[in-house]
């Protein structure tokens, strides 16, 4: 269904559009298209003096991923095998969105988990600015984007997901989030629909 409205104090939250993620193959939208649509949205939000949040994920200081609990995937790894070190610059926000610090006035949030709220100051940053609604874009639809959308909903924000500005490693995972999860906690629509509501 189309997006019905944007709150007067809405923020754009761009999830994990950084060098090491935006360079991966994605479906059903190419990562380059997700970046381009997110950049259009970011420019439109900035032009309306609305907050733009650029979320990046990075490892712990020791190089390990923050989530250390057991899972089927970690159990399948050979005993004693350490996680591969991320290459330098892996967690740098893409240039199209302003690079490491974004553009003037952008909020940069560094996370070490899937969702952008847990263990970060994102909620505080949004509430300080009177934000009641978030529009979410990024990669991957079923991981960072979905986790952030769920957390935003649980924090009582109105949530919109721009479905052509998100992508995943598989269309199946993307479509499950877009058709089964997001309609329960968000409005969904296209980049063009969000831009139209902004009057951009």
Give CA–CA dist 75/145, Å, rounded.
25
pTM comes to 0.91
Q: Are 142 and 106 in contact (CB under 8 A)?
A: no
Q: Across the strands, what pairs with 168?
A: 27
Q: Per-residue b/e over 146-170, b at no fewer than 16 CB within 10 Å?
A: bbbbbbbbeeebbbbbbbbbbbbbe
Tens of each residue's pLDDT in the chain, 200 residues: 679 999 999 999 999 999 999 999 999 999 999 999 999 999 999 999 999 999 999 975 555 555 566 767 655 655 555 556 677 788 999 999 998 889 989 999 999 999 999 999 999 999 999 999 999 999 999 999 999 999 999 999 999 999 999 999 999 999 999 999 999 999 999 999 999 999 96
Looking at the structure, give the CATH architecture of the domain made up of residues 10-65+90-198.
3-Layer(aba) Sandwich (3.40)
Q: Where are the domains of the chain?
A: 10-65+90-198
- Which of 137, 102, 133 is CA-nearest to residue 31? 137
């Amino acid at each position: 269904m189309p997006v019905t409205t944007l709150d007067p104090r809405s923020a754009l939250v761009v999830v994990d559009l950084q060098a090491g993620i935006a360079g991966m193959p994605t479906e059903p939208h190419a990562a380059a298209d997700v970046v381009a649509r997110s950049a259009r949205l970011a420019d439109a939000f900035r032009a309306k003096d609305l907050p733009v949040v650029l979320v990046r994920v990075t490892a712990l200081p020791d190089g390990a991923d923050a989530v250390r609990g057991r899972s089927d995937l970690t159990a399948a790894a050979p005993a004693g095998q350490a996680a591969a070190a991320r290459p330098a610059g892996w967690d740098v926000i893409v240039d199209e969105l302003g690079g490491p610090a974004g553009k003037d006035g952008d909020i940069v949030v560094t996370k070490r988990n899937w969702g952008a709220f847990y263990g970060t100051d994102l909620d505080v940053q949004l509430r300080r600015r009177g934000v009641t609604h978030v529009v979410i874009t990024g990669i991957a639809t079923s991981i960072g984007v979905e986790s952030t959308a769920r957390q935003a909903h649980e924090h009582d924000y109105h949530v919109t997901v721009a479905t052509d500005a998100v992508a995943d490693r598989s269309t199946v995972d993307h479509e499950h989030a877009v058709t089964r999860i997001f309609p329960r906690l968000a409005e969904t629509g296209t980049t063009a629909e969000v831009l139209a509501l902004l009057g951009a």
